Every structure is written in structure tokens, then in C-alpha cells.
Amino acid sequence: MIMKKNKMKISFVLGTRPEIIKLYSVMKAAEVHKMVTPIFIHTGQHYDFEMSQVFLEELKLPEFHYFLDVKSGSHASQTALLLVELEKTLMKEQPDVVIVLGDTNTTMAGALAASKLGIPVAHVEAGCRSFDMAMPEEINRLTADAISSILFAPSEVAALNLLYEGHSQDRVFFSGNTVVDIVEETSELRKSMKLDSTIIEEYDVVVTIHRQENVDHEKRLRELIVALSEIGGKVIFPIHPRTRKRIEEFGLMDLVESTTNLKLIKPLNFLSFMKLMEESKVVITDSGGVQEEAVMLGTPCITARDTTEWPETVWVGGNRLAGSNAMNVTKFCNEVLLRSKTTTKKSMNPFKGNAGTSIINTLVELWQTGNLGLPRPDMSDGKYPLPTLQGKSHQLEKVYQTSLEFDKNGNAIINRDDSVNNKVVRIPKRK
Ligand code: UD1
């Protein structure tokens, strides 16, 4: 057993609203673990009070050790600045491992800066895929997964995606979903709280839309506002600063203000937003986290996108993708509003929790055994690591040996040797 120090240093790199919320249980677990010294680094990608500080305060998270004040910019300039600032900070801190989460520019830059310094990276929410390379988030996820040495998959599907991509089974951990942790942990608090009635009046539907593909094109944004105006119920929209900025730039504020059933409000703190979703009849969103939360709270969700990196939410019947036709948002929403809440069956929660503790315990174990980093390859004596595909069953406990062959057209054929059932199965090509 390799043991260097009494405590391992874990640096958390985060900078946006969803990263604070989704890393909450991991940060808490790190804080109380007696063998861990956590270092919290906020990149400042989100800097408005309502997008960052409010969550740190209400979730009683500790003071951040660093605030890098990177702010907004084009993808290239924001990422470049993130890399420069993170490199300086990580060189100073020399942590044993860096934790990043999800799919933001902060995630990708954190993983890149650390891995180039030879610091092992643990990616939480690894393996989520929308398979849509037009989304900056998909590029960020793929990059972070490719260079991380420890991959914490939040679901079985995410774990299988990683194994299909050829990540070694030793590096993929089925950790559960950190959103379950925070939703469960705050449920009592939500029961006892009341929404501020001066801001939030009567409403039926909650909307959050901020993704580049929905708000950066005038036509699409206009279509979405028109779609909201045709909903047969009152709509409340805690608006992301990016969306507000685009509405103003495109001169769409008059349209919003003339839409009598739609009310824009400032972004809310986490507990109020959860309570709002819990009490609403429908949630309309393009956010990944909100799809997960709505399904966990049992409120029907409509996603204003063509794809999702959370397919489980659709499979359990809690989420429906409206696709590129904005009027589907209206159609699907009105269908739910016409059904009474009592006849609408709550979908089950497809995710498992206790992820924060599981992630920290796994990291401590890997540190104690000297296995945080990736092993260095050895190609002496003509050895070469041929591509292998190592999969696991959906319970992730069976181990498969795989081999690769090529057909006469040069296409790869993967043979999976199911060692448990002692047979070879040919894996169909993924569509
Ligand atoms: C980022 C993530 C996205 C995530 C979202 C959650 C990337 C590429 N995108 O998107 O995956 O779902 O966070 O909110 O990392 N702005 C402010 N105040 C703030 C933050 C942003 O005014 O506190 C405005 C700025 O005008 C900025 C725009 O929002 O230009 C976009 O901010 P940015 O951090 O680039 O991405 P998000 O759209 O927030």
C-alpha cells in the first residue's frame, strides 16, 4: 500500500450555477472526510449574485479559497482565460486530484489545465451524451472525459457510453447522481418554506431557457416566445441573464411584455426554484439539470430541444422532447394542462443517490492505493494496447472481454466475449 501523506488534497474547480448545485453533496462529503483537505476554486464564469453567491449562501457552502473572476467572453477567449488562471492556481496548490463536473467551459478548462500539469482529474457526470456536436456542452463533455483519469458516471447509460467509447472499465465508476442528493437533502426545508408572493403570483407553468441553440438566434427565440404565449395557463419565467440579454438585443421585449400570460422574473435561489417546480403543473426547459430535477420532483417536463443527455427521464415518461418545432412546446404543454393533476401518474425517479459520499470515498481509496492517475503505457518488446471494448451488464457487474476485427470493407466488427455466459455476442452498430 502506497501512503505518502495523512491527507489528500482535492481541488474543486467550478464556476457556474449548475456546478455549485450539482457539486454540493460532493463538497459537503469532502469537508467532513477526515482524510481530505478540500480546496474550492470558483472561476467566476457566473458572476451575478443570482447566478452564484446566492447558492453559496443558501446551501451554506464554505468560503471559496480562490475566485478567479474570469467572467464572460467568446468561447475561445473565456476558455483561454480560464486556462491561464487555473494553471497558475493549480501550480500553486499542487492538489492530488482535481474534481470537475458536467459540461461547461469551466469543466473543460479545469480538466485541461490540470491534466497538462500531470494532476489526475476526476470528472463527475462523465459519460452523458446528447451526440449533438453543435452543442458547446457536448464538446466540453467529450474533451473532459477524454483527458480525465477517473470517470464518475451518474447513470448506467452514461457508464455504458464511456465503455463503448473505449474507456477502461477500471476508470469508470457508477457513482449515482448528485442531483438526487441535493433534492433529497433539501426536501424538509422546501416543505416548510413559502414562496415570496410579491414576486411569484399564481402560475401553472415554469420556464427556463438559456441554451445557445435556443436563444442566440432571433427566429428561434421569437418562435419560443410565441409558443409560450399560446399556452392555456399562466407562465412564470425566472430568466437567465444570457436570455434576457438576447431578448433585449433582438428587440423582443415588446413581444414579451404584450404576452399577457407570461411573467419574467429574476433568476431564483435553488430552494425557491425547486419549490416553484414542485408546485407547478408543467416545467418547460432546455437545461440538463432542470430535466433531472423535474422528473425527481414528479412534475411533467417538456424539453425545448431535439436531444437530451438524460434519456432516462424520457424513458420513465417524465420528460418529452419538443424538438425544433416550437409549437410542439405549446401542444405538449396544453395536453398536460388539460389532464387533471390527480389523473397524471407521477413518473418514477430513474436515478440513484448517495453520489457525493461515494465519489469522495472512491477517490480516497484510489489515493491510498496509488491509483489516482492513469498508468503509463509500456510498448517495449513490441507490445501495443490494441483497442478493446470492455463493457458491463446493466447492473455493471459482469465483465466482458472484447476483440476487434475488420470486415472486407475495413469496418470494425466488435466481438464481445461474455465471460459470464461463456459465449461471444456480436454487438450491433450503434445507430
Ligand atoms: C453556461 C454553460 C451551460 C450551462 C449554463 C448554466 C458553457 C459553454 N455553458 O451557459 O452549459 O447550462 O452555464 O447557467 O459553459 N451572464 C451574466 N451574468 C452571469 C453569467 C452570465 O450576465 O452571472 C451572461 C453574459 O452576458 C454572458 C452570457 O450570460 O455573455 C453567457 O454566459 P456563459 O457563462 O458564457 O454561458 P451560459 O449561457 O451561462
Beta bridge partners of 235: 205, 262
- What's the CA-to-centroid distance between 239 and ligand 1, angstroms? 12
Q: Which amino acid is at 381?
A: D
- Which string of DSSP letters, residue by residue, matches 157-216? HHHHHHHHTT--GGGEEE---HHHHHHHHTHHHHHH----TTT--S-SEEEE---HHHHS
Nearest atom in ligand 1 to 136's CA:
8
Confidence (pLDDT) at 343: 58
Cell matching residue 155: 447513470
Q: pLDDT by residue for the chain (431 residues), tens digit each?
A: 555 688 999 999 999 999 999 999 999 999 999 999 999 999 999 999 999 999 999 999 999 999 999 999 999 999 999 999 999 999 999 999 999 999 999 999 999 999 999 999 999 999 999 999 999 999 999 999 999 999 999 998 898 889 888 888 889 999 999 999 999 999 999 999 999 888 888 899 999 999 999 999 999 999 999 999 999 999 999 999 999 999 999 999 999 999 999 999 999 999 999 999 999 999 999 999 999 999 999 999 999 999 999 999 998 999 999 999 999 999 999 999 998 655 566 788 999 999 999 999 999 999 999 999 988 888 887 777 665 544 444 444 344 444 445 556 555 554 555 554 444 444 444 44
Beta bridge partners of 237: 264
- What's the CA-to-centroid distance between 46 and ligand 1, angstroms? 6
Is 210 part of the annotated catalytic residue set? yes
- What's the CA-to-centroid distance between 101 and ligand 1, angstroms? 15
Confidence (pLDDT) at 342: 59
Q: 46 CB under 6 A from ligand 1?
A: yes
The side-by-side arrangement of strands in the sheet containing 235-238 is 262-265, 235-238, 205-208, 282-285, 301-303, 319-321
Confidence (pLDDT) at 389: 47
Nearest atom in ligand 1 to 102's CA:
11
Give the pTM: 0.89
- What's the CA-to-centroid distance between 237 and ligand 1, angstroms? 17
Best mutation site among 23, 46, 55 for ligand 1 pocket (most ligand atoms within 8 Å of CB): 46
pLDDT in tens, 157-200: 898 889 888 888 889 999 999 999 999 999 999 999 999 888 88
Confidence (pLDDT) at 168: 83
- Is there a contact between 267 and 107 (Cβ–Cβ < 8 Å)? no
Place of cell 446566492: 54
Structural domains of the chain, ranges and CATH numbers in brackets: 8-177+352-368 (3.40.50.2000), 189-338 (3.40.50.2000), 382-426 (no CATH)
Distance in angstroms (rounded) separating the CA atoms of residues 190 and 40: 27
Confidence (pLDDT) at 280: 95
Best mutation site among 83, 104, 209 for ligand 1 pocket (most ligand atoms within 8 Å of CB): 104
Nearest atom in ligand 1 to 105's CA:
15
Q: How far is CA 38 from CA 7, 70, 360, 374, in A?
A: 10, 22, 11, 22
Confidence (pLDDT) at 393: 42
Confidence (pLDDT) at 402: 45
Confidence (pLDDT) at 399: 41
Confidence (pLDDT) at 160: 86
Q: 104 CB under 6 A from ligand 1?
A: yes
Q: 73 CB under 6 A from ligand 1?
A: no
